[in-house]
Amino acid sequence: MGDNYILTTLFGNVVSPPQVMPRFLGVISYLIPQYYFFTSIRLTIIGWDITMVFPYLLNLFLIYMILLGYSIYSLGLKKAKREGSLSWF
């Protein structure tokens, strides 16, 4: 399946929560969107209200929006460099 699958499974709160990992490995979990997804699903299953789960969903949305914005920006910059439509490139 690949290294990406293994890393996201390990650090994405699928196998174990980041609280039981060594500190330097647990910090990586908070950077992976799967952590927030699986945490919000688990909290919803045990009976938390959507208002209590909302911060986890907001973090998940924020990470995806940052990645989407970066991707769109880099695609636009590559297109501008290729077409020569910017004066400094």
For the stretch 29-50, pLDDT in tens is: 888 888 888 888 888 999 988 8
Encoding tokens for residue 55? 């911060």
What φ, ψ does residue 84 adopt, rounded to 5°? 75, 30
Q: pLDDT band for position 16 (50/70/90)?
A: confident
Q: How confident is the model at residue 70 (pLDDT cuts 50, 70, 90)?
A: very high
Q: For residue 2, what pLDDT is reported?
A: 66
> Alpha-carbon distance 21 to 34, whole Å?
16
Compute CA 21 distance to the chain's CA centroid, rounded to the nearest angstrom: 19
Domain-by-domain residue ranges, the chain? Answer: 3-83
**pLDDT, mean of residues 50-62:** 89
